């Protein structure tokens, strides 16, 4: 499967796995290393927004938007790789977590508020 042919999460997972295997990088992809790499990529995403105002963060230049897209892709790659290494199905994990979130944050109680669930 070519890189451009990815249309779903499983195809992304397989592409990332193949990419790492072709480069013999599996030896470096421990859960610890992948979690650290993921944190670094999130920090790189944050750096793009660091000194922007709220309004500027909503109206990125084409260059900023491209940089954000690249960092989001890097984050997704490391996240998919980490989940794969730990045999975690991302779709199932997200579904389960959204059910937990729905219980923690009932829409009729929290609508319009950014407070943490423990404050309700």
Residue ranges covered by each domain of the chain: 3-86
Q: In whole angstroms, what is the distance from residue 109 CA to residue 42 CA?
A: 31
Helix axes 90-104, 62-85, angle to 10 degrees: 100
Q: Is residue 41 exposed (0-12), middle (13-18) or buried (19+ Cβ within 10 Å)?
A: buried
Per-residue pLDDT of the chain (120 residues; tens, 9 = 90+): 556 666 799 999 999 999 999 999 999 999 999 999 999 999 999 999 999 999 999 999 999 999 999 999 999 999 999 999 999 999 999 999 999 999 999 999 999 999 888 888
The pLDDT score that the predictor gives to residue 6 is 66
**Answer CATH for 3-86 from 3.40.50.300, 1.10.10.10, 2.40.30.10, 1.10.287.1080:** 1.10.287.1080
List own/partner pairs for 9-14 with CB under 8 A and 24 or more apart.
Answer: 9/80, 9/90, 9/91, 12/76, 12/77, 12/80, 13/80, 13/83, 13/84
């Amino acid at each position: 499967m070519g890189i451009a042919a990815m249309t779903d999460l499983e195809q992304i997972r397989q592409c990332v796995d193949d990419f790492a295997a072709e480069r013999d990088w599996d030896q470096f992809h421990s859960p610890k290393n992948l979690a650290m790499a993921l944190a670094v990529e999130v920090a790189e995403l944050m750096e793009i927004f660091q000194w922007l105002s709220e309004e500027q963060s909503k109206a990125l230049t084409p260059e900023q938007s491209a940089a954000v897209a690249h960092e989001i892709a890097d984050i997704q790659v490391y996240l998919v790789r980490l989940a794969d290494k730990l045999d975690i199905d991302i779709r199932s994990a997200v579904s389960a977590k959204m059910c937990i979130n729905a219980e923690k944050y009932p829409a009729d109680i929290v609508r319009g508020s950014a407070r943490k669930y423990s404050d309700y």
